Each structure stands twice: as C-alpha cells, then as structure tokens.
Amino acid sequence: MSTPNQATALSFTLTGLDAHLVRVEVDSGRGLPIFRIVGLAETAVRESHVRVRAALRHLGVEVNEWVITVNLAPAYLRKYGSVFDLAIAAGTLGALGKIKSEALAASVLLGELSMTGEVRPVRGVLPSLLAARQGGLGHAIVAVENGHEAAAVTGLDVRVARHIGEVVAHLNGERALPLATPAQPGATWHGLVDLSEVHGQHGARGALEIAAAGAHNLLMMGPPGAGKTMLARRLPTILPPMTDDESLTVTAIHSVAGLLGSEDGLVRQRPFRAPHHTLSAAALLGGGEPVRPGEVSLAHHGVLFLDELLEFRRHVLEGLRQPLEDGVVTISRARTRATFPALPLLVSAINPCPCGYAGNLSTRRCECAPDRIRSYRARLSGPLLDRIDIHLVLPAVALDDLASTTPGESSAAVRERVMAARSWQRHRAEIGETSTPYNATLSKRDLERVAEPDARSHALLRRAVQELGMSARGYVKVRRLARTIADLEGSDAVSYAHFVDALQARSLDREPTIELARAG
C-alpha cells in the first residue's frame, strides 16, 4: 500500500449566528475502497460522500480504489447540512494530487454539490464570511446564487462558481473565477404604503410616532375596523433607514434562516414580520436542529406585529419576556446553546372583548358578559403587559373621517421628526451621557442623567404608583416615554407635561390623547 497523501480545505459551521472555522482534513491511501467522514457529523454531512463521489466522477476522477478519510476538525463541534460538500470534494482532490495544496489551504469553500458537480447555494454564507474576515482569511469561493450576499463582506476576495470543475481550474491558477458582485437596491416600504392613507385616529398616529422615535413597544386595543393592522403596517415607513451594521446583522439572520434569494444582497429595508396566531413557540422564538432564528429575531431592527394577540397560546406569548427585556433569545439544547439578537419594535393588537365591541369604542352593542370579558383579557399576563411601553386604545373611525378626501400627514414628514429625535438619542450615547442610543432601553442610571423628574413630576409619578398600582418596571417605562416625547419636541429637559403624556400612554382604561392639552 502506498504512502497516504493529505490535504486540508477550510469551511465553516454555524451555532446560531456564531460561525466556527472547520478544517476539512482529507487523507487518501490505497486499499479496499471506503469513503468515511468523522468529526461529529450529522446525517446530511455524512451523506456528503455520495454527492462528492458522483461529482468527482463527472470530472473524470474515480475514488473507488482509494481509502478516503475526512476529518472535520474540531471534532467537538457538531456539523450540520451540506455546506461542507465543496470543501470535502476539493480536499479529496487535493489529497489525490489534483489541486495545489497551498491554494486549497488559503481559501474558504462554502457550497453544496449536485450529483453532476454543480455548486449549489447554502445558508449562513454572510456570517461565515464575516468570521473568515475577522480570522484573517482573505479568499472564499461560494455558489453563484450566494454571490450578492457574499459581496456584502468587504475586505475579502470572494469568487463565485457554478461547477466544481471551475473551482479546480481557479485553485490551480488556470482560469480565475468571477468576483461576487453586490445586488441592485430593491423596493422599500417607502412609497408602497404611507401614513397619509390613515384617516382620523390622531391619537394613534401620535402614539405610533412616539413608538418609532424611541423604539417603544406598542399595544393597540380597539374594535374591528378601527385601523390597528393598517397602522402597524405603516410603522416601518416612519422608521429611520438602517445603518450598515444593522443591515449586516439583519442580513446574517435572514441568511441563517434561509430567507435570502439569489437576487438578494444586503437587507436594507427594515423587516416587518406578522406571524399567524397559530404559530408555535419554536417558530416565534427559534428552535429546530440545527437551531434556526424565530420570528422575533427575523424582525430584529424592524417591526414584529402580533395581530389578535389574545389568540396566541399563553406559553408562546410568555416566551417573549426574555427578548423584550434583554434584546436577545437564547436557545439551549443538550449539545447546543445558540443566541440570536432579538430587538424588534413589538406592535400587538387586541379586541376589547371576544365580540370586539365592548365599551364605548364602537357604535355596535357588545354581547359579552363581564366575566367573559375579564377571562378574555386575562389571557395576557400582567408581567407581559408590563413589558409593553405604550398601551393605546383606538375608537371606531368616525364616518366623517372615513369620507374625508384630505390626506393625513405623510410618512416622510413624520419620519423626519423621528430621525431628529433619534439623532438626539444617538448623540447622548456618543458623548457617554447614556449607554444606549434607544430611549426604550435606557438604564436607571441613564434616566437619572437625562430624564430625572422635578419635584412636581415626582409627585405625579408617586400618585401613579400609589393609586394606579404602577410597578417599578412601569415607573421606568414612563420615564423613558417622557424622554422620547421631549426629544420629539426638541426639548433637552423633560417637563411635567411630558410625564403627563407618558402616563396617559400607558393606560388601557380610556382612549388616550397623545396630543393632549397639557395639564398645568
């Protein structure tokens, strides 16, 4: 038996959004033909040898007379999916002397192989290439369909391939692969829908603006047809454009979830996710094997709209507590612990009762008994409700407003005020006055510096705690809301009137007037 030859190719595996370098070590030698893959590989990885054998056969390379051993190192990391196909095939060719080993060891290879050797797209290319760049690697080869996504990683020489034969020619210096190119900008929410289409509901429009300006979570309660869904779908149109860092993170999440198409590059539009109330806890928070992000992470830096909130299963909703408080979701399995960012702007909608017409919110008569209404609202737990910043009550839209042909204020005009308010928040974070650029996540120490109530405001908040039973968390959220209202007015100080508005924005007992006549 001849002396075995060895080669090493580079690839990546994912745990959540964290990419880990995998060294694909291939050993070849003469003997009874066998192709084995070791290194804690799950089924799809172990099946890779079938695809690799067939693909190499189309290149005229037979491995039936060789003992091929593939080790995926480090062995303690579980390996999932077909992402290693290209690296295993190239490593095998390197061990057989068909590819220059020095070129092979310097390139990250990410791709699935067809039986005929075509290179197919895989999930998680963007986070893998970001990790490659951070690790000092300079070259990568991906499928053509992953090219736009891969081009978002600057400072890395990324090439795209359609067939394993093209990869071999490139690594041997015979024919260079084309560079990955960025995608053309796609359509945005701007222009598709607009806040000017909302007639009436002036208080709701004001609440929506406050939510957008400070990244505050919002709960809307109103009868059917009051405009809850219409308002929620127009919230992305008044949010500021995403920064480059935000776009990279959002794109990485969508890449891991497999939601990026071949024409998609960097996600520039803030996500809007509106899952149905029948979804499972894993679909909302993330799960599966391997772990995939859920809706709350897919809406990161965007809007998560939960319509008919009280129809969601109780245990599903309770899972929102961690992301609403910490901005991340951590999913633990026996051998895996994955963390996904989860900082969406949560917008939820409920009816006031099962029939939808309780109270004076509608001209129709409610047919629900008081006990039934209490039982219906009890589906939303107090701790979860307490984590939602703004509690908004919407009445039915007046006929005069519906018949009006005068458009309301446009999304562009509101967005300008929102961006100005957020610039104040960003400036305070940049100069070290606060620890976060979002008012919704200001800490107690931050609030002491930028939203400290005066004596009169402190007395107002004390009465709210004593008479309304406001919790400590609610007290903090009122101060955060007051800071945002002041920012929208361009005020450096938070006044008594701002605290009045903030308190009214957290009551489901009556219709709030965000643009109210300030008391005192």
Q: What is the DSSP string of 271-293?
A: PEE---TT--HHHHHEETTTTEE
Rounded distance between C-alpha atoms, residue 334 and residue 11, angstroms: 24
Q: What is the DSSP string of 21-51?
A: EEEEEEEEEESS-EEEEESSB-HHHHTHHHH
User: Residue 212 in 3-state DSSP?
Assistant: helix
pLDDT value, residue 3: 42
Q: Which helix (DSSP H) or strand (DSSP E) does residue 347 occupy?
A: strand 345-350
**CATH architecture of the domain covering 5-171:** 2-Layer Sandwich (3.30)
| H helix runs in 368-410, sequence order | 370-377, 382-386, 399-403
pLDDT value, residue 47: 93
Q: Which helix (DSSP H) or strand (DSSP E) does residue 148 occupy?
A: helix 147-150
CA angle 323, 327, 328 (to 5 degrees): 70
pLDDT value, residue 401: 67
In order along its 520 residues, the chain shows pLDDT tens digits of 344 589 999 999 999 999 999 999 999 988 888 999 999 999 989 999 999 999 999 999 988 889 999 999 999 999 999 999 999 999 999 999 999 888 898 999 999 999 999 999 999 999 999 999 999 999 999 999 999 999 999 999 999 999 999 999 999 999 999 999 998 776 555 558 899 988 888 889 999 999 999 999 999 999 988 889 999 999 999 999 999 999 999 999 999 999 988 888 889 999 999 999 999 999 999 988 889 999 999 999 999 999 999 999 999 999 999 898 889 999 987 778 899 999 999 999 999 899 988 876 667 888 899 899 989 988 888 889 999 999 998 888 876 666 677 778 999 999 999 999 999 999 999 999 999 999 999 999 999 999 999 999 999 999 988 888 888 999 999 999 999 999 999 999 999 999 999 998 887 654 433 333 333 3
- Omega before 127 cis (within 30°)? no
Please report, for the chain, the start and end positions of each structural domain, with discontinuous segments joined by +.
5-171
pLDDT value, residue 508: 60
Cα separations in angstroms, 33 against 1, 26, 28, 29, 237: 12, 15, 10, 9, 61
Rounded distance between C-alpha atoms, residue 41 and residue 54, angstroms: 20
The one-letter amino acid code at 182 reads: P
Which residues lie closer than 8 Å to 471 by C-beta, 6 or more apart?
A: 386
Rounded distance between C-alpha atoms, residue 301 and residue 327, angstroms: 10
Predicted model pTM: 0.90
Which long-range contacts link 279-285 to residues 24+ away (Cβ below 8 Å)? 279/312, 279/316, 280/316, 281/313, 281/315, 281/316, 281/319, 284/316, 284/319, 284/320, 285/319, 285/320, 285/323, 285/329, 285/331
Q: Which helix (DSSP H) or strand (DSSP E) does residue 467 occupy?
A: helix 455-468
pLDDT value, residue 46: 92
Which token pair is 22? 């995998």
